[in-house]
Structure 1
Amino acid sequence: MNRQWFLTGSIIAAGSSVLGQRVIDITGTGQGKIPISLAAYRTGSDSASRGFLAVLKADLNRSGYFRVTSSGAAVSVTGQARAGSQMKADIQVYKVAGRRRLLGKSYDASANAYRSLAHKAADDILYAVTGKKGMASAKIAMVGTPTGRKELYMADIDGKGIRQITKDRSIVVAPRWSPDGRNITYTSYKRGYPNVFITGRSRPISKHPGLNAMGTISPDGRTLAVILSKDGNPDLYLKNLLTGFTKRITKTRRGNEASPCWSPDGNHLVYVSDSSGRPHIYIVSKNGGTPKRISSSGTENISPDWGKNGLITWCSRIGGKYRIVVGNPVRRTSRVLETDWADYEDPRWAPDGRHIVCSRTSSYRSGIYLLDTLKDSPVALISGSGDWYSPAVSP
């Protein structure tokens, strides 16, 4: 996990002005959900069409914006799903008052792809009714230990469809999605020392002498932010993925950097540095300059993620437990999410800008959980069959 990585001496870093950064505040209680009915939706007797409806209902409930009900609905979903060798689904969404149609769309795919079809339909329904982006179609990359070793896995954001990506038989850490959502960068020790790899390629994309870790690609897909120790302490570097040119961003004489993450516009990076004696969260310009510290509470602050909503989430050790913090880098404010007193770590924004996927550790076992920043109860996504941590969510 990131905290273990940091404590062994390879984390920390950054800061700079974030003027002009668009920030969407998250406020509210999670109450006042829209009652939505699927009672009139029809399926065939086949398992695929019935599975489609079950996944669709679960996605709408999990979105945080809807409450699926059979009576008193404000929104009604009608249509039918049927499957043979192909899966076909028609969706009609109406506002009950006035019978105004909000969405009319048809979907088709192979019958065994009914889950992805339902995820797409759920996101379309959410957008048609609320104008907000959904998360149902997103994927989670994560580190898991079902084989006894730390390997890279992938699953739908509801925790289903888990599949193993790497078979390095070594240690894999720090997965991050590419901005186009097609590949995952990760750090692997399969060659005996840490290098940064990307799925789809057998050779590392960063293999300088010493530490190569926590690589993450810029929003424009051109630059890799990575922690390197080739010049001494672990510092933050930027590497041009086309030319290979590498630029050093931080020069911390007494300390370590770790966990870089790009701002949505690609002009800044947030990262961790223990230059003050303890790990804290910093922001720095992609051009370098003086980092600015944005964390203050807790005995240590690690594992930041900068969402497209402009907000930064990170993990803070408070009262002996790891808690999830959401911070506004423009207003310089932050709040701690309400959770039980397990350890919550490795927070990553879902693409809806409302939910956070993270790891939860209790009684020495770790699983992947979904947190609602508007105070819905945490949802267990993946647990059992080993430990699961370090999630990353596709754009």
Structure 2
Amino acid sequence: MKSLARSGALTAALGVGLSIAVLPAGPAGAAGETHVRCNDIAALKTAINQANTSGGRITLAAHCTYTLTAPDHPDDGLPEITGNVTVSGRDTTVRRAPGATSDFRIFHVANGGELSLKSLEVSGGSVPHSAGGAIWNSGTLNLADVIIKGNRAGTGGGVYNLGGQFRLDRTTIAHNTAVRNGGGIANGRNSILDRPGTMTMKGGALLGNRAHNDNGGGLENVRSTASLDSVTVSGNTAIHGGGINQFGATLQLTSTTVRNNIAVSGAGLSNEFSTATLTRSLVTRNTAITAGGGVFSGTSAQVTLTGNAVVRNTPDNCSPEGSVPGCANPADSVTAPSSYPSPPAGNNTAGDSSAGNSAAETGKAPE
């Protein structure tokens, strides 16, 4: 996987050097496989349109940066994914140009579409008045050995999963920002189709993401289900749920570490009207301004700990006192109220009431 520390200068140099590589722009190799020359955006769009019709694999040039300077259509840098499309690279980046004058995300998977990304970085997407800075998914999205970095949106700074199937393997979601909720990922229910989002993450990390004015710095999980196995959730910030925020949802953490996250309450995990099960996981060194440094378990919420350690969080490990069986607080910890007021519905639901808002903002009909 590509190093997050790779310099912009090296990226540019490699991109220029490989842009003259002799790679066929049309089908080559195995049947259904299309190679796209380095930074040939027109050929990439053509390949996606072809794959939407007949399926197929698109292989991008290794060590290359594909830079989108303008949207293909409103809010989307590339053609919408409506078929079964696989895009793979090797130390390859697909990004919105830093100087682009229009705001747009990189990929949009429509209802019924399926997109698989392999060994890519997706960065620079910007839709501050909509959702899904890098990717909006309403279909099926599979990420393997992918980095989603430095994107921004109103909701779901990195990825917005609206009632879709979303799988991440060995994938890092890092340094993305949301104006409202879900700095890294917003996983929500599609109220139009009455379909919850389903997210499964194996390995990888949610690192340094931020929800500026609302909840879920790393992950916002609303009326949906999320499962994280062997994942690191670290350095994320939000109002509530610095690492993870849940509302009316179900969460499973297995062999996962939640640390060094910051929030007003529920710095590691904030859980309202939801169920969270933590197995062999560590919640540590998270900091809340008020209470729930490790876990805040609010109204109609249940948190189950099995073989876990919730320790060394500030100002307490779990809040309210006694709300999480098996979680002990230091003697000088703060006692919090039984619940905190929920933010306005439009901001608190990543995919229920906010789904309609986002659709209206993008000018698309809800899927």
Pairwise same-fold verdict (TM > 0.5): no
Task: Return the index of the structure with the highest Cα Rg.
Answer: 1
Larger RCO: 1 or 2 (CA < 8 Å, sep 6+): 1
TM-score by length of 1: 0.23
TM-score by length of 2: 0.24
